């Protein structure tokens, strides 16, 4: 695998879009136009990153320059990445940014938990690079029916100790049984099955139990989803995941996991195609 720095370079350029702040049930609270640029300086060793957000048409910039990446940020070869908490600790804010990239489009989703462990904030960032798409157009919410069927592909797993990535076969199958949706996911030898029911008030949400945590899948604009606990607690494994339906028959997922001690353990990038 290429170095983490080389993987970062897949994000070079200017990404235009918006930071959309949502409630934890999917209602849009705020949409802030943005430009995020990555420029490699003349020494070829320093990255200059400018995050510009427009509040009432007035830009506010956050400028970062760095020569190395810390362990809280992990990249895949196509430029997809995640950065976030390395350790869950009670009475502290917890969260992670997970970013997928598809050509000149990026999707970043950031769930945040408050110091009491409740899912409290959600930001979705949709971007296009270098004017490849002059405007992020409104996109319909992903519908569960679009995921029905069997999806097969591969998963690239990077462990927290940054050993060489492991490539594993993957399969996800969605079935409908009356009002219930049954999702089976297998990555390598690990398999989980979730039986979900649409929320009685908001059909945009599916709820289910995983281990001892109550989980929810929230369907988002741009045919994306986030699956995460409604609340987190000590001595419980944590699994945060996002997905993006890139094409009707191509889906990508990112999964970030923590163990029972609250330590970050792995990051997984899954790309699957719908079986005919």
pLDDT of residue 210: 82
pLDDT at 59: 93
- Residue 8 gets the label, from left (phi > 0), alpha (psi -120 to 50) or beta, of alpha
pLDDT grade for 18, boundaries at 50, 70 and 90: very high
Mean pLDDT, range 61-75, rounded to an integer: 94
Q: Name beta bridge partners: 76.
A: none
Burial of 43 (0-12, 13-18, 19+ CB in 10 A): exposed
189-193's contacts with Cβ under 8 Å and 24+ in sequence apart are: none
Query: What angle (nearest 5°) sits at the alpha carbon of residue 33, between those of residues 138 and 119?
Result: 80
pLDDT tens readout for residues 251-265: 999 999 999 999 999
Confidence of residue 137 (pLDDT cuts 50, 70, 90): low
Q: What are phi and psi of 24, to 5 degrees?
A: -70, -5
Q: 3-class SS at 15?
A: strand
Q: What is the pLDDT of residue 36?
A: 96
Phi, then psi, of 147 in degrees rounded to 5? -100, -10
Average pLDDT value for residue range 123-139: 74
Domain range summary for the chain, segments of one domain joined by +: 4-129+140-274
**Which is nearest to 94 in space by CA: 112, 72, 82?**
112
Give the alpha-carbon dihedral of 106, 208, 257, 15, to 10 degrees: 10
Give yes or no for residue 73 having a pLDDT over 70.
Answer: yes
Instruction: Name the burial class of residue 55, with classes exposed (0-12), middle (13-18) and buried (19+) by CB atoms within 10 angstroms of its CB.
Output: exposed
C-alpha dihedral sign at 199, 99, 69, 54: negative
Separation CA 223–CA 197 (nearest Å) = 19
Residue with the two structure tokens 């990239």: 101
* Res. 145: pLDDT tops 60: yes
Confidence of residue 132 (pLDDT cuts 50, 70, 90): low
pLDDT at residue 199, as a whole number: 75
Q: What average pLDDT score do residues 151-159 get?
A: 97
- According to CATH, the topology of domain 4-129+140-274 is Lipocalin (2.40.128)
Q: Which residue has the tokens 């769930």?
A: 111
Which pLDDT score is estimated for 35?
95
Confidence of residue 131 (pLDDT cuts 50, 70, 90): low
Question: Residue 200: its pLDDT value, please?
Answer: 76
Instruction: Give the tens place of pLDDT for each residue, 230-252.
Output: 999 999 999 999 999 999 999 99
40 class by beta-carbon count within 10 Å (0-12 exposed, 13-18 middle, 19+ buried):
middle
Q: What would the pLDDT profile of 157-196 be if each residue is shown by its tens digit?
A: 999 987 789 999 999 999 999 888 999 999 999 999 999 8
Q: Quick: pLDDT tens for 75-116.
A: 999 999 999 999 999 899 999 999 999 999 999 999 999 999
On whether the CB atoms of residues 221 and 124 are closer than 8 A, the answer is yes
Q: What is the chain's alpha carbon radius of gyration, rounded to the nearest angstrom? A: 18
- Residue 201's pLDDT is what? 81
């Amino acid at each position: 695998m290429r170095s983490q720095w080389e993987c970062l370079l897949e994000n070079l350029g200017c990404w235009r879009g918006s930071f959309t702040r949502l409630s934890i049930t999917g209602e849009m609270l705020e949409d802030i136009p943005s430009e995020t640029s990555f420029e490699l300086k003349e020494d070829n060793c320093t990255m200059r990153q400018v995050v510009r957000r427009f509040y009432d048409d007035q830009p506010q910039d956050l400028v970062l320059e760095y020569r190395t990446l810390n362990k809280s940020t992990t990249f895949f070869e196509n430029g997809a990445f995640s950065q976030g908490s390395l350790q869950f600790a009670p009475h502290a804010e917890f969260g992670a940014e997970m970013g997928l990239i598809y050509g000149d489009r990026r999707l970043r989703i950031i769930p945040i938990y408050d110091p009491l462990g409740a899912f409290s904030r959600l930001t979705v960032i949709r971007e296009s690079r270098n004017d490849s798409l002059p405007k992020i157009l409104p996109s319909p919410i992903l519908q569960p029916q679009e995921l029905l069927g069997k999806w097969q592909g591969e998963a690239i797993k990077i462990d927290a100790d940054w050993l060489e990535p492991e490539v594993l076969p993957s399969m996800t199958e969605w079935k409908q049984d009356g009002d219930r949706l049954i999702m089976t996911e297998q990555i390598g030898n690990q398999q989980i099955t979730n039986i979900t029911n649409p929320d009685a008030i908001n059909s945009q949400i599916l709820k289910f139990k995983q281990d001892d945590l109550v989980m929810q899948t929230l369907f988002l604009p741009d045919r994306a989803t986030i699956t995460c606990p409604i609340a987190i607690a000590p001595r419980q494994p944590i699994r945060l995941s996002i997905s993006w339906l890139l094409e009707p028959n191509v889906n990508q997922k990112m999964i970030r996991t923590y163990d029972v001690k609250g330590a970050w353990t792995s990051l997984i990038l899954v790309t699957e195609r719908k079986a005919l």
